[in-house]
Structure 1
Amino acid sequence: MLSYDELTSPERELWDAFPEGHRVDLRMGVPEDDLVAEGGQWGPGRTVRAGVIGALLLGANSMQPGSVACLRLAGARVSGRLNLAGAQIAHALWLEDCWFEEGVDLSGASTQAIAIVGSRVPGVEASLVRIDGPLDLRRSRLASGSAPPLHRRVTGLSLTNAHVSGAVKLSGAEITAPEEWAVSAGGLVAEGGVYCVDGFVARGEIRLLGAQLPGGLHMRGAHLVNPGPHGVALALDNAVASTLDLSDGFIANGTIRLRGARISDKLTFEGAILNGPPDGHGPSLVALLMQAVDFDFTLAQPPTGIVDLRGAQVSYLHDNEHSWPDVVELDGFVYGSIKMDEAGERREAVTRRGSVAHRMAWIRRSPGYSPQPYEQLASWYRKVGHDDDARRVLLAKQRHRRQTLHPAARAWGHLLDATVGYGYRPWLTGVWLLALTLLGTLCFGTHSPSPVQRGEGARFQPLVYTLDLLMPIGGLGQRAAWYWSNDSLQWLAYLLIAFGWVLTTAVIAGVTRTLQKN
C-alpha cells in the first residue's frame, strides 16, 4: 500500500487533485520539450508511477463530499505497467500527451469513461472490459511490444468481447503491430460506434469478427496496411453494423474481408483505394454472403485484386468506371437496382449509352460460366421495363454457356443462334423464311416442272410451290403434283424441305429454352 510520504512531487500533486477531479498538467508549455515521442527523456519532475494511478482509481484516496473524483493527468511519463485487470473502477480516467513505458491492462475490468489522448502506449489490453461511457484513444500511438515476464505479448489494441456503451474513438490514432493484429476486437459491442477518421493509420490486421456496431464503423480517409504477403487489412466477418464508411481517401494495402457481414444501412467505398495484399495475388475485397441496403462502390481507381461478391445481397448498387478489376466473382450476387456515377452525377445505369454491353462485359469478368449473374441482370432489366435488353442478356448467357459444351452440342447451339437466336430473336426465322422464299420463287419461276399426273392438279405457281416445300407439316397441294427433270432444281427442292424442318425444330427448341430457368 502506498503512503503519502513515498510519493514524488508530481505524484502528490495528482494525489491531491484526484478527489475533486482537478487536472494535473506537467507540460512545460514549450512545443520542443512537450513532444510525446521524446517522452522517454522526461525526468523525475514529469514522471508518475503507474502504481499510483492504479491506486487512486481503486480508491486509495477518499473522495471529497460534493465532488466527483476523476483522474486527469497531462504531459506525464508513466513508469511501470498500469495493471487494472479485473478491477471495478468507479472513476473516469483522462490522460493526455503522456508517454508510457509499458502497456495498459484493462482486461476484464468494469469502469467509467476512459481517455488516453495524444499519448504513446506500447499496447492496450482491454479484452472483456466493460466501459460505461466512451473509450477515447484519439491521436495516440499504440504499438505492440513485449510484456513483462508472465504476461503474453499484446497487440496494439485488444478489445475482444469488450462492451463499450459509448463510442470507441480512434480518430487520428496510429496503431502498429505488423507481425500480428493491430486491433483485435472480435465480439466487440460498441453501442456508440467506432470512429477511425482524421488520419487514422493501422499497420497490421484490424479484426472485428462478429462485432456489433449499432453506431457504425467510420473510417473516412483511414490508411490500413498489412505488410504480410497475403495480409488482411480489415476483417469484419459476421459483423453487424448500421453503417460502414470506408470513403473519402480510404486506402487499404491488404484485403478487406466482409464475409457474412450485415449492414442495415449504407456500405460505402466512395473515393476509396483498394490495393489488395502487397504480393499482388490476394483479393482486394471479399464480401461473400454480405448483406447491405446501400452499397456504394464508386472507387477512386480500380482495385488491384479480385472483388468477390458471391452470395452477397444489396438493395442498391452504385458503381463507376473504376469499380471493377479484371476478375470479379458475381455468382449469387443479388441487387435491386444499379446506379452509375458519371462526372459526379448518378443515374440509373439503364439510361447509360451502351449499358447492356457494359454490364455483360462486367459479368464476363467472372471466371468460368455461371447462369445466375445473367439471370439477375436480365431480371433487373425486366423490372425497369427494358425487356429487349433483358433478352439480349439472356442471349449472351446462352452464347457463354455454349463455350462449355461438347462439340456436337456446340454445333447445335450455333444453329439455334443463327436461326432463332436461342428463341430470343424469333424474327430471325422470318428473315430466313423470306430469303428462302425469294430464292425458291426466283429459281423455280424460270423453269417449268413436269406434272406427276398430266391434266390433274392445280396450275404450277412458283411462290406457292416454294412455300409448300418449306412447310414440314400439311401442304398446299403443289409439292406432290410436280417434279423436276433438272437435277439442280430438284436438289434445291430437297434443300428447301430440309431447311423447313430445321427452322421448325429450331423454333420449337428456342421457345422451349426461353421457358426454362437457365
Structure 2
Amino acid sequence: MTLTGVTVQGRLNLSQQHLAHGLLFRDCHFDDGVDLRGAVCEELIQFVGCELNDLHADNIIARKGFSVVDCQLRRVSFASAQITEDLRLSKSRLSHEVDHVALHGPNMVIEKSLRLDETWITGEVRIPFSHVGQDLDLRSAHLDNGAGLALDATSVIVGGQLRGDDGFTARGEIRLCWGRMSSISFRAAELHKPGGVALRADSIHVSLGCYLDQGLTASGTVRLVGAQIDGELACTASTFTSASGAAIEAERLVAKDVYLDRGFRADGVVRLVGAQLARQLTCTGGHFENPAGDALDLTGITCTGSVYLNQDPQHEQCFHAHGRVQMCGASIGESLVCSSGLFEFPGGVALDADGLNAVGDVRLNQGFRAVGRVRLSRATIGRQLDCGASSFVSTENPALDLTGLVGHGDVLLTSGFRAAGQVRMRDADVSRDVDLSTAHLEGTGTKVFDAFGLRVGGTFTFQLAQPPKAEVDVRFADVRRLNDSPSSWPTRQTSMEGLTYQSVSNIPCSGRIEILQGTKAFSLQPYRQLGKVYREASKTKEEREVLIAGLRDYRNRGKLKWPQRMWNLFLEHTVGYGYRLWRPFVIALALVVLNFPIYHTAEHHNLMESVGAKESQEHHNVKHCPTDFPCFNPLAYSIQLFIPVSNLHEVDKWVPDATRGWWSTFLLGWTWLMIIIGWLLAAALGAGLSQAVRRQ
C-alpha cells in the first residue's frame, strides 16, 4: 500500500495489527503521529519525506525491515522491537527538547543494521541492551542533547561496525559501556561535552579496532576504562580537550597497539594506568598538555613491544609533554624510545620511570630535552641506556636520577650530553660500560655527579668536556677499568674514598698523584688502590711513588698531632716510609767517612780519654794502651757510634777529654750527637722494616 501526500488528522493507530503487505508513506503529514506498537509487519514499512509528531513502534515485529528517510519527527520509540532486516532512520530530523528522549529503543533486536546516518537529532538517543546484527551507522549524523546523554548504547551488541565518522557530531555524552562490537570509528568526528565525559566506553569489547583518529575533536573526557580492544586504538592526528580532568581515561585498557601520534594533541592528562598492550604504544610527534600535573600517565603499563615518545622523522614533529610523564613500574618488552622528545615540568619530575623494566634499550638521545627531573631509579634495562646528545635541566636535584639502576648493557652519557643539575647514580649496577665522554656536568649545587656505590662491569669513562664546578662523588664505587682525565676531577671537590678498579688509563703517575692530592677529604685508600693497580701491572716504581705520596699527604691533610707529623716527616726523609731502607746506611756511611778524620785527629792530639781502666795501672792514653785494655781505633769508633746494639769496645772505653779545652768539649758534644743520630737511624730502620713486612 502506498500513500502519497496524505494528511492524517488524529493518530494513525495500527497497534497490535497484523500487516501482511508493505506500507509506503511518501510526503505524508500526520497530525498526531503513528502507532505501530505490537504490530506484526510481514513486509517493509517505509516513511519517506513525511512529517510526524511521534512514531510509536514498541514491540513491533518487522520481518522485512523498517525505514524512515528524510522525515521530520519529534519522538520515535522502538523499545523491544524485533526487526529482521535494517532499521533505517536516515536523513531525517528528530526535534525533541534537550534532556528528553528523542529515540527510545532499549532491548531492540535488529538482525541487520541500525542506520542513523545524516540524521539530526535533538534529545537523547537511548538504545541500551540492544542487539544489532551488522552495523550501527552514525555517519554524518548530528546528535544534540546539551549537557546530557546524546547516545546511550550501554551494553549494546553490534555484530559489525559502529561508524560515527564522515562529519559525525555529538553534543552530549556518547555512552557505550559494556558494549560489544567488531570496530568503532569516529574518524574526523566532533564530540562535545565540555567539563564532562564526551565518550564513555568503559569495559567495552571491540574485536577489531577503535578509531578515534584523522582529525577527531573531543571536548570532554574520553573514557575507555577496562576496555578490551583486540586490535588497535588509533587516535592519530586528533585533539582531545578536557577543562576539568582527564582528556583520555584508559586505565586497565587491553589492546594490541595504541597510537597517540603524528598530530595528536591532548589538553588534559592521558591515563593508561595498568594498560596491557600486546604490541606497541606510539606517541611519536604527539603533544600532551597539562602543565599543572600529569600530562601522560603510564604507571604500571605492560607493553610487549616498544613505547615511542619520540620525534616523527618524516614531519619533524617532536613528542612534547608539558606536564609530568609517569611510567612508574612500567614493563616494556622491547625498547623505550624518547629520541628528540621534549619533556617539560619545571620544578618537578618531568619523566618519572621509577621501577621501569625494559627488556631492550632506553633511548633518551638525539636531542632529547627534559626541563625538570628525570627519574629512572631502581629501573632495570636489558640493553643500553643511551642519553647521548641530550639535555637535562632542573632547578632541583637530581636532574637525572639513576639510583639503584640495574643495566645489563651500557650507560652512555656522551656526544655532548648536558645536565644542568646533579646526575645521580648511587648504588647503580651496570654490567658493561658507563661512558661520560665529552659530557657537560653544569650543576652548581652540592654535588654535580653522585656515584656513591656505583658498580661497573666494564669501563668507567669519565672524560668530561669541561671541569665540573661542584663535587664529584665516586666513593665506594667498583669499576673494572677507570678511563678518566685529570680535568674531570675538580680540585678539593672530589670524593673517591673506597673507589676500586682493576686498571686505569695512561695518565702519568704524577698526574694521578695530583688527582688524589686534590680530593675533598684525605683517605689513604685511594693511594693504596692505585698502588695495588701499579703493582699488579709490574710498575713498582710508580707504586712506590704513589704510596709515598699518600703518606706525605697523610702528614699534610690527615688529622695528626704535631709529634706524629714530625715522626712522619722523619720517616719520609730517612727510610722513605719503608720504601727506601737503604737511606740509613748511606747516611751512616757518610757520617762514618766524616767522623773518621775527626777522631783520627783527636787521637793524635791526645783528646781521647780511656774509661774504666784500673787505677793501679799506669796512666795511659791513645798512644800508650795499657795491658788488657783496647786501644783507640778511630774507624771502629766511628762505626760503633751508628750501631747502637753492637759492641766494638770503643765507644764504651774511650770518650773525648773535656778538660783539654774548647775543642775537646765540642768533640764530646759531637760524639753524643752521633750516638743520638745512630739511635734515630736504628729506630727509623726498624719502623721502615716493620712497614715493609706489613705491606707484604
TM class by shorter-chain length?
0.7 to 0.9
* Residue deviations 1:155-206 (CA, integer Å, cap 9, x gap): 2x11000111121110010000112101111111011121111110001111
Instruction: Select 1:200's aligned residue among 368, 372, 385.
Output: 368
Q: 1:8 to 1:238 in 2, by over 3 A?
A: farther
Q: Distance in 1 between matches of 2:281 and 2:348?
A: 25
Q: Distance in 2 between matches of 1:390 and 1:431?
A: 23
Structure 1 counterpart of 2:240 = 78
1:473 aligns with 2:645: yes
Using the TM superposition, give the Cα deviation of residue 92 of structure 1 relative to its aligned residue in structure 2, in angstroms. Answer: 4.2
Q: 1:500 to 1:52 in 2, by over 3 A?
A: closer
Kindly report which structure 2 residues correspond to 1:451-466, keeping only aligned pairs within 5 A, or say none. Answer: 452=610, 454=620, 455-456=625-626, 457=629, 459-466=631-638
Q: CA RMSD in A?
A: 3.1
Greater per-residue strand proportion: 2
Note if contact 1:73-1:96 (Cα within 8 Å) is conserved in structure 2: no
Structure scoring higher RCO (CA < 8 A, sep ≥ 6) equals 1
Instruction: Select 1:138's aligned residue among 310, 320, 327.
Output: 310
Q: Distance in 1 between matches of 2:185 and 2:164?
A: 13
Note if contact 1:236-1:258 (Cα within 8 Å) is conserved in structure 2: yes
Q: State the secondary structure of the residue aligned to 2:467.
A: coil
Between the aligned residues of both structures, percent identity stands at 25
Using the TM superposition, give the Cα deviation of residue 292 of structure 1 relative to its aligned residue in structure 2, in angstroms. Answer: 0.4
Q: 1:21 to 1:115 in 2, by over 3 A?
A: farther
Q: Distance in 2 between matches of 1:281 and 1:211?
A: 25
Note if contact 2:214-2:237 (Cα within 8 Å) is conserved in structure 1: no
Q: 1:96 to 1:331 in 2, by over 3 A?
A: same
Structure 1 counterpart of 2:268 = 102
Quick one: which amino acid aligns to residue 446 of structure 2?
A: G
Q: Distance in 2 between matches of 1:191 and 1:450?
A: 91
Structure 2 counterpart of 1:323 = 488
Using the TM superposition, give the Cα deviation of residue 322 of structure 1 relative to its aligned residue in structure 2, in angstroms. Answer: 2.8
Structure 2 counterpart of 1:40 = none
Structure 2 counterpart of 1:484 = 656
Q: 1:45 to 1:439 in 2, by over 3 A?
A: closer
TM-score of the pair, normalised by structure 1? 0.82
Note if contact 1:135-1:169 (Cα within 8 Å) is conserved in structure 2: yes
Instruction: Select 2:399's aligned residue among 227, 233, 236.
Output: 233
Structure 2 counterpart of 1:46 = 215
Mind listing any 5+ residue stretches in structure 1 that lack a counterpart? 27-43, 64-68, 146-154, 340-347, 350-354
Instruction: Select 2:512's aligned residue among 348, 359, 367.
Output: 359
Q: 1:391 to 1:297 in 2, by over 3 A?
A: same
Using the TM superposition, give the Cα deviation of residue 78 of structure 1 relative to its aligned residue in structure 2, in angstroms. Answer: 3.1
Q: State the secondary structure of the residue aligned to 2:502.
A: strand
Instruction: Select 1:406's aligned residue among 557, 561, 574.
Output: 561
Note if contact 1:330-1:366 (Cα within 8 Å) is conserved in structure 2: yes
Structure 2 counterpart of 1:254 = 421
1:128 aligns with 2:300: yes
Q: 1:356 to 1:56 in 2, by over 3 A?
A: closer
Note if contact 2:405-2:427 (Cα within 8 Å) is conserved in structure 1: yes
Instruction: Compare CA radii of gyration and give the structure with the larger one.
Output: 2
Q: State the secondary structure of the residue aligned to 1:334.
A: coil
Structure 2 counterpart of 1:35 = none
Note if contact 2:462-2:485 (Cα within 8 Å) is conserved in structure 1: yes
Note if contact 1:48-1:76 (Cα within 8 Å) is conserved in structure 2: yes
Kindly report which structure 2 residues correspond to 1:271-420, keeping only aligned pairs within 5 A, or say none. Answer: 271-276=438-443, 280-293=444-457, 294-326=459-491, 327-339=493-505, 348-349=506-507, 355-403=508-556, 404-420=559-575
Note if contact 2:452-2:477 (Cα within 8 Å) is conserved in structure 1: yes
Q: State the secondary structure of the residue aligned to 1:89.
A: strand
Q: Distance in 2 between matches of 1:7 and 1:132?
A: 37
Greater per-residue helix proportion: 1
Q: State the secondary structure of the residue aligned to 1:362.
A: helix
Q: Distance in 2 between matches of 1:50 and 1:86?
A: 23
Quick one: which amino acid aligns to residue 129 of structure 1?
A: I
Q: 1:14 to 1:74 in 2, by over 3 A?
A: farther
Structure 1 counterpart of 2:328 = 160
Q: State the secondary structure of the residue aligned to 1:322.
A: helix
Note if contact 1:23-1:74 (Cα within 8 Å) is conserved in structure 2: no
Q: State the secondary structure of the residue aligned to 1:103.
A: strand
Mind listing any 5+ residue stretches in structure 2 that lack a counterpart? 1-125, 128-135, 143-162, 169-180, 190-212, 290-294, 312-317, 614-619, 658-663
Using the TM superposition, give the Cα deviation of residue 126 of structure 1 relative to its aligned residue in structure 2, in angstroms. Answer: 0.5
Quick one: which amino acid aligns to residue 201 of structure 1?
A: R
Using the TM superposition, give the Cα deviation of residue 447 of structure 1 relative to its aligned residue in structure 2, in angstroms. Answer: 2.7
Using the TM superposition, give the Cα deviation of residue 133 of structure 1 relative to its aligned residue in structure 2, in angstroms. Answer: 1.0
Using the TM superposition, give the Cα deviation of residue 58 of structure 1 relative to its aligned residue in structure 2, in angstroms. Answer: 4.1
Using the TM superposition, give the Cα deviation of residue 262 of structure 1 relative to its aligned residue in structure 2, in angstroms. Answer: 0.3
Note if contact 1:175-1:203 (Cα within 8 Å) is conserved in structure 2: yes
Q: Distance in 1 between matches of 2:284 and 2:167?
A: 18
Q: 1:57 to 1:127 in 2, by over 3 A?
A: closer
Q: 1:25 to 1:471 in 2, by over 3 A?
A: farther
Using the TM superposition, give the Cα deviation of residue 57 of structure 1 relative to its aligned residue in structure 2, in angstroms. Answer: 11
After alignment, is 282-291 or 96-105 more displaced? 96-105
Note if contact 2:308-2:337 (Cα within 8 Å) is conserved in structure 1: yes
